[in-house]
Amino acid sequence: MGWPKLEGLTGCSRLALSLVGLLVATNVALVNFHQQLFPSLWRYVMWEGGVIENLTALNFLLGGVVFLASAVSGGAPLARRGWLLAFAVACLVLLGEEVNYGAGMLVLNLNDPEFATRYNPQHGALHTLVPAWVPILAFFLIVGGVRVFHGRLRRIMRLPVPLGFLNAVLLTAVAVPFMRLGDNRYLLVDEVFEWSSSCLILCLALHSRWGWFFHRSGE
């Protein structure tokens, strides 16, 4: 009995809500228990150039392809096609960032005594002035702002983003209070939220093409 009410409140399908729950649980498990889950290999999973980052890049690639397919398909209004093309380009730019930031890290030297600073430098003005948690907070504030002004953005800018997608992204923040953020784990939080966000962006692309995951009402 609870599902239909929750679906109507969030604008998400049962499948989308289940996916959000899975992402939240996975993010908490990866940040809190990565060393227990992957004892000697956790850096290959969680660090720059690791499995999570590679899956993030794959999601952006697939999302870009689907957005592009939606943009070039006939019958859609010009404004919608323009937005979808912009989303496709954004996905490809994000893909480029993911695959290039870890350049030279395809084979990580786990025995390097300076592993942490070599592969994730903690010096320089950027790291001094902007702690690692700031981009994460900024991301959710931006999504929250778009959520608040969603109706106006749809009317004025013809933004083809369903309310359910924004709600799904914001719901992933539920994981944060359950994460142990000591021991400089903010960088790991960045990795898992990039991954989970890329999963939901792929869902947005599938919605734009076939109407999956999010309700069309309220778009």
The pLDDT score that the predictor gives to residue 116 is 61
Within a domain: 171? yes
DSSP state of 41: T
The pLDDT score that the predictor gives to residue 216 is 57
Distance CA 188, CA 132 (A): 10
| Average pLDDT of adjacent 10-residue blocks, the chain of 219 residues | 68 90 96 93 83 93 96 88 96 87 53 63 54 80 95 92 94 93 78 94 95 69
Range of the domain at 169: 30-119+126-210
Within a domain: 149? yes
Within a domain: 196? yes
Per the structure, how many domains does the chain have? 1
Within a domain: 10? no
The pLDDT score that the predictor gives to residue 104 is 46
Within a domain: 41? yes
The pLDDT score that the predictor gives to residue 186 is 76
The pLDDT score that the predictor gives to residue 82 is 95
The pLDDT score that the predictor gives to residue 118 is 62
The pLDDT score that the predictor gives to residue 218 is 45
CA neighbor of 212 nearest in space, from 3, 13, 66, 10: 13
The pLDDT score that the predictor gives to residue 73 is 87
The pLDDT score that the predictor gives to residue 19 is 95
The pLDDT score that the predictor gives to residue 103 is 45
Within a domain: 218? no
The pLDDT score that the predictor gives to residue 203 is 96
Within a domain: 11? no
The pLDDT score that the predictor gives to residue 10 is 85
Distance CA 185, CA 187 (A): 5
Burial group, residue 122, by CB count within 10 angstroms (0-12, 13-18, 19+): exposed
Within a domain: 23? no
